Amino acid sequence: MYLIAGLGNPGLKYRKTPHNAGFMAVDALAHQHKLRFVKSKFDAQEAELRLGGEKVLILKPQTYMNLSGKSIAAAAKYYNIPSENIIVIYDDKDLALGKLRIRAKGSAGSHNGMKSIIECLGTKNFARVRFGIGKPPEGMRLMDYVLHKIDRQEKAAYEQAAEDSAMAAQEIIVNGLESAQQKYSSK
C-alpha cells in the first residue's frame, strides 16, 4: 500500500495560496480519478484508489502545516505503510514557480511541515515531490508570500504544476522514482 500526502492548511482562508500547493496537487489527483475526499480518523481528509495494482491512500492533513507529521504518521502506522511507500507533495520556495524536484529522501530544509513529518515518522526516507512556488518579491516577508492569494497571472502555472505533481506521484508508484524524476523533475 502507498500513501500520497499533499501538504497545506485547512480552511477557505488558505485555499488558493502557494503554501497549499500540496493540497492543489492531491486535489488534481482526485479530480483525475473522480474521487471525493472524506473526513478520516487521522485528522485529515482522505480518498483511496487503486493504481498499478496497488492500493493508494491520498491524504490532506487538516492539522495545519506545522503539524502535518501527526496525521501522516498515524495513517502510516494504522495501515502499516513503510516510509519507502510514502510520497509527500509540498511547496518549495527555492524552486521557480511550476518547477518540480523529485527525491527519494532528504532533509526538511526550512519547511516546517517536512520537519514535522520527519520527526513523527522518525526517518527522512520517504519520497517527496517538491512543487516550486518561487521566492517572494524583494521586500515581502516569506510568510506573507506563501499565504498570499494566487492571482490570475500565476493561476495557470499553479494548475499545471498541480497536474504534473499528481502525475509524478502516480509515476513513482507505477514505474518507480527514477522514471518520475526523468519525466517530471526537469519541467
Grid coordinates 487521522 are at which residue? 42
φ, ψ of residue 52 in degrees (nearest 5): 55, 35
Cα 186–68–139 angle (5° rounding)? 65
**Size (the chain), residues:** 187
The yes-or-no answer on residue 33 being catalytic is: no
User: Could you give the strand order of the β-sheet that contains 44-51, starting from the edge strand earlier in sequence?
Assistant: 38-40, 44-51, 54-61, 2-6, 86-92, 127-132, 100-103
d(CA 182, CA 82): 24
Please pick, among 19, 33, 111, 148, the residue that the annotation labels catalytic.
19
Sign of CA dihedral 115, 39, 76, 170: negative
Residues with catalytic roles: 19
